[in-house]
Structure 1
């Protein structure tokens, strides 16, 4: 049952609730102080009264030769009252502190939960929620509003993702068919043996290249969507990153030599284990090495390293090529974004977007740094 059905709007304010709590605590403090003081003074006066009765009995029995003219001293009364107020004040102060601590911790836990949820959302986890149900004060209303906002946002993102995947699927089929038809046309032209103009041959080959490029782009976009959905996480196994680095090095060392570059590898002799998708991790490093090979001039040096760092594993791909300007270091992770759009090097503009999706799937972080000259791509993965 929701508390908001019983509380008027003005009572759902944190400031109002804190003010009322302060008033109630103050009234309770006065009542407690009066009650405790009265009980303590009554106890002390009773003790004094019993002493007077005892002295009176001794006087009647002629056992006391001297009579006390002032059996109840004023200082004693004041001391008793002062002691009563001090005792009640200490007890009331302890109670007030306990109430304030409980209220502060409750508000602090709610604020901490909201901050935690916002941090998880910033990391891409749109399923995070505060779990608040009742709008009994300002913080609770904010928490409920955050949950409602995230639910709508998650729904919108899911809908957009579904639309993107559906569009990619729908477009991939005619593009694949177009590519197949162009290949048949090229085979038919070759079998016919007729002499075609050079322009016809070039246009046909360009059409084949473009259709292949489009098919590769849509394959990459579908793969990124699949990775970002988290579907591949079910394939996680214990994976040795040192072995992954060794595999990539074996593949690209000769490729770098053929391109007139040098690929060096640094990895520990002991395994570096984590829960991950071996195939995707190999593709991650392969994309980064291929980017370095594509954009670096001949004679460049490329280094691939892997090491344990704290509670995680650090992967690095560094080169001494042209590097990337600071203003473009964030945009290079966008899909279909290319640093130099005028270049015709065969890049699809989805390599780093795919890398970032794989890093996110493994709950890691990726960053770009200057190598003076060149670029350093650093990836931190939790073990």
Structure 2
């Protein structure tokens, strides 16, 4: 049975198109056709003029819905994240664990392996942010758990994970080349973050083989006219670079600057957390942000669609391009060529939202889910 979504505005690959119909069979988009050429005998779903975009992709999120996976990494937290994020139009995410004890990291690996066999499918795996960071730029990460990587430990985690570790944030300037090479050879996306790298160091390892940067401007040396630091190296080498577009972690003027410099390599993450009163990360919500007990800014309260809205309303980025930053570019970094566009042959994972940036529905694996999915 073919399902036809009509009376909509398609946002895909930097363009907004009207007067089209999206035809879906199973979990794939089979065609985009003119509304006047809609075939007979299809199941029609009228979207009442709403925007339809590729499902959003969040490659760095710690928890949602009152369960902080990063603090208590258990199957129930992953299940909650999947459900919450689907209702927000996020059809793919990396559950993130910050710098912590080996026990927490390994508990997270086991929970992810257990859950992946029964997950809905928008949980794609783990992002480890740490513990191999630079303590000088630790941010909210506890210094007592930060350490230099050893090849033996990295191997043990990768082998234990059996493919569930998809991404890792490290401070490359402090790590041995054999560790970086091992991670790269095993298909893990290596992202530089919480780093105090110099301009010269950044020029040496970005895209060679570090192909990503974690939360631009946060937890890295700032630019200076006589000591350029790491950021100009990022602008010149243009790896895939994430940014937290909440206006708190990064001022919107700096998001505009980053977009001008990085173009189609700048992508959105939420870096979102939820309130927690136990463990290494006791996040407290203060009305517009989460902080640690000592007042240090921690994760955000963003959703991916809110990040898109902020880019449009405060950073001068077009809606179509902001959607690319929340879908196409993270899909490219994650090497998922059938995600990130509304086009024939792509996965039928879509977000439906109105002009007020309110989620109306999520299409996941071809199934139409209302926003209380």
With normalisation by structure 1, the TM-score equals 0.18
Q: Which has the higher contact order (CA 8 A, sep 6+)?
A: 2
Of Structure 1 and Structure 2, the greater strand share is in 2
